[in-house]
Amino acid sequence: MRVGELARTARVNPDTVRFYTREGLLQPDRNPSNNYQEYSSNDLQKLRFARKARQLGFSLPEIKSILRQADDQHSPCPMVRRVFGHRLNGVEAQLQELTGLRDRMKSALDTWQSMPDGTPDGHTICRLIEHWDDPDKANKE
């Protein structure tokens, strides 16, 4: 496959594929006749993995070394284990925080929902902002 096809099947911007290739995450062959890049299904797997890993907060250098380790079947990988463990902690924390904030948003939206449409609610926003750290107050009159 070439960039466009790879990008389409992985639902990724072609420029991202090119960028990852520049950065060495993907190492496609080259068609010597036209200098086009030729990606394998292995590259597709790597690309998919990279995108998921990015969502989890891994950096490109981290992803790159994980991918390198995977290529080299014969080396142990305490590093990968460490990075994974570390990231897992971060993800858990983020998840907790996000859940709390989501609930806060929801109740704010509920409050607004119960007001007739078009009602001036600068006050509600104000209260929301003022008591953002204090969810009980934000919901009260």
Partner DNA sequence: ATTGACCTGTGAGTGACTCACAGGTTTTAA
Partner DNA sequence: TTAAAACCTGTGAGTCACTCACAGGTCAAT
Residues that bind a copy of itself (CB under 8 A): 45-46, 48-49, 52, 55-56, 66-67, 69-70, 72-78, 80-81, 84-85, 87-88, 91-92, 94-95, 97-99, 101-102, 105-106, 108-109, 112, 117-123, 125-126, 128-130, 132-133
Is 59 an interacting residue with respect to DNA (CB under 7 A)? yes
Picked from a copy of itself, DNA, none, the partner binding residue 47 (CB below 5 to 8 A depending on kind) is none
State the minimum distance, in angstroms, from the CB of residue 53 to DNA: 9
67, 49 in Cβ contact below 8 A?
yes
128, 138 in Cβ contact below 8 A?
yes
Q: What is d(CA 16, CA 74) in angstroms, rounded to the nearest whole number?
A: 30
Q: What is d(CA 61, CA 95) in angstroms, rounded to the nearest whole number?
A: 23
